[in-house]
Amino acid sequence: MRAGTHSSVIDAAETLVARLDRVCRVSRGVIRANARSRSRTIKILPLKGGWRLTVVAKNAKQEFHLFDVSLGEISEILSAREFDSFEKIVPAADAAVPPPRAAS
């Protein structure tokens, strides 16, 4: 399920986004050029109701927002052999996204 029609993805994130698209809703963010990173990095941060996934490659950086997916599912995808070349920054398993507040 796609979150809109914006489909530009940096080369380093193409395979990852294709895998994530199968299990959750992925909102693609702005591509920032000239990131000048020495290593390829995938960073995950919890948000209310989802996750922020940032992919940094040699010349570009892009953020994605993931919805309807657990940290365990994301970690399982990242454990695939094709993502071994990335440094992964993942929150501890107990840093789950807080449940939405009940309406008062």
Tokens in use for 104?
Answer: 């008062």
Predicted confidence (pLDDT) per residue in 30-40, tens digit: 899 876 778 89
The Cα–Cα gap between 84 and 81 comes to 5
Closest CA to 26 of 44, 102, 81: 44
Residue 21 DSSP code: H
The pTM for the full model equals 0.80
Predicted confidence (pLDDT) per residue in 35-57, tens digit: 677 889 999 999 998 999 999 99
Domains of the chain, residue spans: 11-89
